[in-house]
Amino acid sequence: MSKEICKNPSSLWARFWLWYDRHVTESLVLTAFIIYIQIPHMFWNADLYLQTDMISRVHPVLDFFFYGIDLIEVFPMINIGFLIYSRVRKSGMKNQIRNG
């Protein structure tokens, strides 16, 4: 973290992290929703693996939806990285303030 980012709160980078910190709750709600829709996806995937065809291969649109759930897992992965970086950044800024 460069000192110019901490000293210049009007920089784009600093404004982004201020905005992100204000919207962490909404971000966590979205992440929770994506994680919870993994439950039906898990059953669909097990059905594919066991080849019972009770849930999978019933309709191509349904299969496309359940397969697509896998692809949106990328967003929670990015969000977790953002949360970790945001907390590390905050603790680093607090240490800089304490140490002068």
Where are the domains positioned within the chain?
A: 3-99
Rounded Cα gap, residues 90 and 87, in angstroms? 5
Taking a C-beta distance cutoff of 8 angstroms, is the pair 24, 89 a contact? Answer: no
> For position 94, what pLDDT does the model report?
79
> For position 7, what pLDDT does the model report?
56
Indicate the burial class of 56 (C-beta count within 10 angstroms; 0-12, 13-18, 19 or more).
Answer: buried
> For position 4, what pLDDT does the model report?
45
Q: From the first residue on, what is the mean pLDDT of each consecutive set of 10 residues in the chain (100 residues)?
A: 53 91 93 93 92 91 90 91 91 78
Cα Rg of the chain (Å, integer): 20
Taking a C-beta distance cutoff of 8 angstroms, is the pair 18, 9 a contact? Answer: yes
Structure tokens at 76: 């929670």
Q: Sort residue 11 into left (φ over 0), alpha (ψ -120 to 50) or beta.
A: beta
